[in-house]
Amino acid sequence: MDRIRQLMREKPWMGWIVALVAIAAAGFMMFNNTQSDGRFTPSNMQEIITIKYIDTEEEVRLPRGRVDKMLRGQGGNLDPSKGLINPKTGKASGYPVDKDDWEKWIKRINEDRELMKQPGSANTTPAKPK
């Protein structure tokens, strides 16, 4: 430690370089952390999407996160031809207006479920205590 102090006294510019590198690294990490483009970012999950129920011709606007939660709560593999449950009729007739987005969404959820079924995934059940 004394050697480092001695070096910094003799060459103060080295201390400034270390400080600048540390500040630049911190700034880069902070900027990089706030620029996430993942699927589950708050801005993505708060996006309002329009769901149209085919059987009643009713349209509702819901946050993407709520719809995602409803889909993931259904269990099993999802079928893109079956929509969200209409609370008024009980039939699976609700689809986002953007059909391409819907098919990609269902495919992505099914892929996530397949990944979770693989051994060593994060969804492993802990052993029961003896």
Domain boundaries, the chain: 2-31, 42-117
The model's pLDDT over 27-41, given as tens digits with 9 standing for 90+, comes to: 988 887 766 566 677
The model's pLDDT over 40-71, given as tens digits with 9 standing for 90+, comes to: 777 788 889 999 999 899 999 999 999 988 88
**In degrees to the nearest 10, what's the CA dihedral of 125, 126, 129, 130?**
70
The model's pLDDT over 91-116, given as tens digits with 9 standing for 90+, comes to: 888 999 888 888 888 998 899 888 88
The pTM score is: 0.59
Cα 49 from Cα 62, distance rounded (Å): 6
Non-local CB neighbours of 63 within 8 Å, separated by 6+ positions = 45, 46, 47, 48, 49
CA distance from start to end of the chain: 51
90 C-beta neighbours (distance < 10 Å), count: 9
